[in-house]
Amino acid sequence: MDEKLRSQSSLNLLASQNGYPIERKVIDTSGRLDSLYDASTDNLVDRHSARSIEIKTPLQRSVCRLFSGDQSRELNSFLRDIDFDDAIRQSICLQMVTPSGVGRLIEYNRPINEKTRFLYYSYRDRKEKLNIKALKADINRWSTKRSN
The Cα 34–Cα 57 span in angstroms is 18
Task: Annotate 10-69 with DSSP letters as a single string.
Answer: HHHHHB-TTSSBPP-----TT--S-EEEETTTTEEEEE---S-EEEE--SS-EEEEEEE-
How far apart (Å, rounded) are the C-alpha atoms in residues 93 and 91? 6
pTM value? Answer: 0.50
Query: 146 near 139, Cβ under 8 Å?
Result: no
CA–CA separation, 34 and 47 (whole Å)? 6
Query: Does the pLDDT at position 18 exceed 70?
Result: no
Domain boundaries in the chain? 1-58+126-148, 62-123
Cα 7–Cα 20–Cα 141 angle in degrees, nearest 5: 40
- Residue 123 carries which side chain, given as an amino acid letter? Y
Per-residue pLDDT tens for 100-143?
A: 888 888 888 888 888 999 898 988 888 777 666 655 555 565 55
**How far is it, in rounded angstroms, from Cα 55 to Cα 133?**
17
What's the mean pLDDT in 85-103? 83
DSSP state of 73: S
DSSP 1: -
